[in-house]
Structure 1
Amino acid sequence: MHNHLQHILLTSLLPILANSLLSADLTTNRQGPTGAVAVTGALFQSEPTSGYDFGTSDFSTSRGQTPEEEEELYALQKAAKPQFYPRPQGNYGGYGGYRPNPNPQPFGYSYVGYINRQARRYPVMMYTLIQCVPCQRAKHLLATTYGDVPSHFLELVGDEDWQRQLQVDLLKVTRQATFPYVFVCGQFIGGSSDLFNMHHSGQLRQALNNCMSRNG
């Protein structure tokens, strides 16, 4: 009964989540099947815009789920329902960042586990905001200079309740209130300027080589 109910919930969530996520597949130099912007030579992966593959994702139903995975699934289910959240205030102009409520109230679920797991899963994990110039610069750097590095990003529009909750939890994890949020080898390094500083000093390439060699 539990599995049947979970299947119904997942099926009803797919079109909602598919319409909420914006993705850019930078692995080719043409418009991809997901309607994505592309740059030649990169291994830049993105959240799918249609049809989550639950057989390979964090939210797989083909095997027994851990308590953390069940909490994530519950969070996504809650995010698809009408909720009342304080809208993030303040816009950082060219930096494209929202400032979430500095004292967020608990909403009954959290994306902290999801954020931490995604950071550990990819050599580079980045959360970006649409029409954010520094976000685009950071993605361009990774696509053109680190095309051999599997990178992953999730681009937010910022006007969905679940996205605002994700921003609140990004602030909680990172103590940073502007986009992009860049994680390298499981560690939060900061934003676009921090990524470029690591690049110019050579630390970014060294860190990526080290963590990719450890992970085979």
Structure 2
Amino acid sequence: MKDFTAAAGRLRSLSLGAKLLYSAFAIASIVGLLVSWRLYGAMVQDAGAAGYYAGAPAAAPPPAPAQVPAAADGPALDLGPELDLPGAPETPRVLVEQISERKLLEVTHFHLFSVPVYVLILAHLWLLARLPSWLHTAGVAAAVVTSGLHIAAPWLIRGAPGAAALMPISGIAMLLSLGAMAVVSTVDMWLPRRPRRGPAGSSEETDLATPG
């Protein structure tokens, strides 16, 4: 823990192997966030969060306006008897079944053990980046609040379908906060290290991978 009480910018002192490892984790984190957002859209579909989590009926799309053929210039033609033709078939709507309480418990149980670890690792990298202390605090607070709110959102929507907007809002906020942590930390760790002045005025560099 002493690394977090020292001056910021320790990411740049990591060994090459550690930088490759943490960079791979950060890239995988960003990909995971994007895949999670795509999975959310595939699950709720047209019904939205209120229909998926609370079973609220989905709003029917407005009917398409009927197209009236324009009248042609000139004398009217006798086209014979009118035929009663069937209208254009409507695109079938995919029904979204409300998630059961047991399945929602399973999803929440999994997220409660995985998301905190995910946030913990990214926050550690964020705290080691060369950034102002207030930005360290703000970033960690944003990551904790948005991820916690996103985990709780399905249960809040289940009790109050009117709060359906909470799911995409918290998801976008978590995507931005954790994504920013991953990108900034990865960029910072690959920047050149700044030499540190030794006691005799000579410059020296500290490597986190080596003791001493």
TM-score, normalised relative to structure 2: 0.24
Greater relative contact order: 1 or 2 (C-alpha under 8 angstroms, separation 6 or more)? 2
Between Structure 1 and Structure 2, which shows a larger proportion of strand residues? 1
TM-score, normalised relative to structure 1: 0.24
